[in-house]
Amino acid sequence: LGEPPPAGVPLDPVVSLFLRREQREQRRERHSSLAQRLQRFLRRKFFLFRRSALMTLIALRNLALGRPAPERLAQEVAFASWRGEEEEARPETLGGAPRGPEL
């Protein structure tokens, strides 16, 4: 992924969309201010901690009470993986996780 594609080889449309998105993201991060970088860092760490805490609670509950139905477990994991309003605006094909019901 870090290397440019070989010359003369047509790119898959999904791959080219992904590469353009990654380049935009890298440019945005390079040209952002210190405050924006700090905010992005804290946001990432907050959602990492949130997901870790929720997944730990789900695992402990499953140990104590047994596994719930697969559908409910999938909803809980989707809720734990939710990353905020910014991700809801992204298309599902680019990694946006749907928001599940609250626990």
Buried b (16+ CB within 10 A) or exposed e, 11-40: eeeeeeebeeeeeeeeeeeeeeeeeeeeee
Are 50 and 77 in contact by the 8 Å Cβ rule? The answer is no
Domain regions of the chain by residue span: 13-88
Answering whether pTM is above 0.85, one says: no
- State pLDDT tens for residues 18-71: 888 999 988 888 888 999 889 989 999 999 999 999 999 999 999 999 999 999
